[in-house]
Amino acid sequence: MEPSQSPHGLQTISQPLAPEDNQPLGLGDIRCSTPQSQYEQVRTVRTFLVINRAKQVTALGNTKLASGYQQFAFGLQQSQQSQFGAQKNKSRGPISSLGAVRATHGAYKSSRKLPRAVAPAAEETSSSPPVVDVEEPTQSSDSQENLITMATISENTVFPPPHQPCSKPDDNRDCNYQRIATLSGHKKSISVVKFSPCGGYLATASADRSIKLWSMKDLTCERTILGHQLGINDISWNSSSQYIASGSDDMTVRIFSVSSGHCWRIMKGHTHYVFSCAFNPQTSLVVSGGYDETVRLWNVITGMCVRLIPAHTDPVTCVAFNHDGSCVASSSYEGCIRVWDVSNGHCLKTLKDLEHDAVSFVEFTPNGKFILSSHMNSKIKMWDVSKEKPVKYYSGHQNSKYCIFAGISLSHGRRVISGSEDGKIFVWDLQTKRVIQVMEEHTKPVLATDAHPILNMMASGGIEPDNTVRIWYSDK
């Protein structure tokens, strides 16, 4: 479909969303809408043949061999039900439907835990901790000035004026985040907060089915976006800060215009809750992951699913692109992280350790060499992708029930931030893993946090009955 032919104003978005040659990604006309049904048919036929073979061997009197065939057939049946059968959710316990899954009590947790007969390996063997380089090559001073200009902070802003990024990347000074504003308006739990790449807006989404856009000039709500039928679990800005993708319990991924608030595209295909979504930073692709255990790549221009990846054997909790959009990381309740090649859907890496606890969040570092992950055993890990092992551990917060966002703040030093189920917000030094500040303002668990891309600022959101977003600022 050419942009000029669209009845939805594609001319206005073809520039930020499409590549320079107006082609989606060179994936061809791939339509992966039926691999599950085909695979299910193959498994059914295979099971039928094994059962028949067991009957033939039994008739010949070889009961031992027949027993082996029967056990193999039983295993195929169990595997088929686990991945495609209608009974798969019944075996895992009830899944709550009281709004967004991320912000709902009693959210699904995998009951299949591996035995921990072997203790996890030591985090570090040397006396001095390894240095993790997470940043992209430094930009020129002119580039940094342009970024700060894009934020357009007015003179009568309610928070201090913007600071230049820290001149020493390895600066380990303590921070002193202070609450400067409390944003109210959502009627249910805050599931996600995300600053726009330009720094001019904050988007918040909730189990109340709404997305609110807050101007960072005066911290007022400029627009409330509606469209989803059920609670929203995740949102993502495109690189130009003009469009927002959202994933919801209504099993759809939607694209909204920031300027008008109109829903420009509805992408359907998931068969269960959509738990995470992310814009590709370079092309017109959006990736989504859901409770149907799949990762799907969508062409925003056409609204079509261009690739379906049966990524995990448990619900997918998070998906994230790397800095150039060539790879996708996905996490799951099964306790592992997988890295996928966007061009062909092949699994490049599988990251897992002996703990095998559910992974609730993943994010590439700006240089793409490391992955930050949040786990439901109250740990945050920094993985070296090439070595396929964690090199840093961050702890102190509480996280055993909810899928909590984590993140890296590089605007004024290198820090890791995360909410906690005790209502606190933790800030760690990225290199030393030391807790450098704990903020206590929320009265309920904090699932959503995000760091401003330019200013030394962050946002946090609490679940019911808190339902508020708090803005924090530090001059260190």
Residues 78 and 147 in one domain: no
Residues 346 and 463 in one domain: yes
Calpha distance 277→297 (Å, rounded): 10
85, 103, 128 - which closes a domain: 85
* 21: in domain: no
Q: Map residue 330 onto helix, strand or coil.
A: strand
Determine the residue type at 29.
D
pLDDT score of 243: 97
Residues 302 and 449 in one domain: yes
Mean of the per-residue pLDDT values for the chain? 77
Residues 225 and 333 in one domain: yes
Strand order in the sheet with 316-321: 316-321, 327-332, 337-341, 347-351
> Up-side HSE of residue 3: CA atoms within 13 Å toward CB?
20
Instruction: Pick the closest to residue 443 from 426, 459, 464, 427 (CA basis).
Output: 464
Number of structural domains (the chain) is 2
Residues 79 and 146 in one domain: no
* 180: in domain: yes
* 96: in domain: no
Residues 62 and 191 in one domain: no
* 154: in domain: yes
* 246: in domain: yes
Residues 80 and 228 in one domain: no
85, 104, 122 - which closes a domain: 85
* 245: in domain: yes
Q: Give mean pLDDT, residues 170-190.
A: 84
Asked if residue 33 has pLDDT above 70, the reply is no
Residue span of the structural domain in which 220 resides = 141-473
User: Considering just the CA atoms, what is the radius of gyration of the chain in Å?
Assistant: 23
Residues 69 and 169 in one domain: no
* 132: in domain: no
Residues 150 and 237 in one domain: yes
- Tokens 């342009």 belong to which residue? 146
pLDDT score of 202: 98
Under 8 Å between Cβ of 435 and 396: yes
85, 103, 126 - which closes a domain: 85
* 209: in domain: yes
Q: Give mean pLDDT, residues 40-45.
A: 49
Residues 160 and 237 in one domain: yes
Residues 35 and 182 in one domain: no
Decide: residue 223, CB within 10 A, 0-12 exposed, 13-18 middle, 19+ buried: middle
Q: Give mean pLDDT, residues 61-79.
A: 58
pLDDT score of 82: 45
Calpha distance 109→115 (Å, rounded): 16
Q: Give mean pLDDT, residues 80-104.
A: 46
Residues 220 and 369 in one domain: yes
The pTM of the full predicted model, rounded to 2 decimals, is: 0.71
Stronger pLDDT, 338 or 143, i.e. the higher one? 338
Stronger pLDDT, 157 or 387, i.e. the higher one? 387
CATH number, position 269: 2.130.10.10
Calpha distance 440→276 (Å, rounded): 27
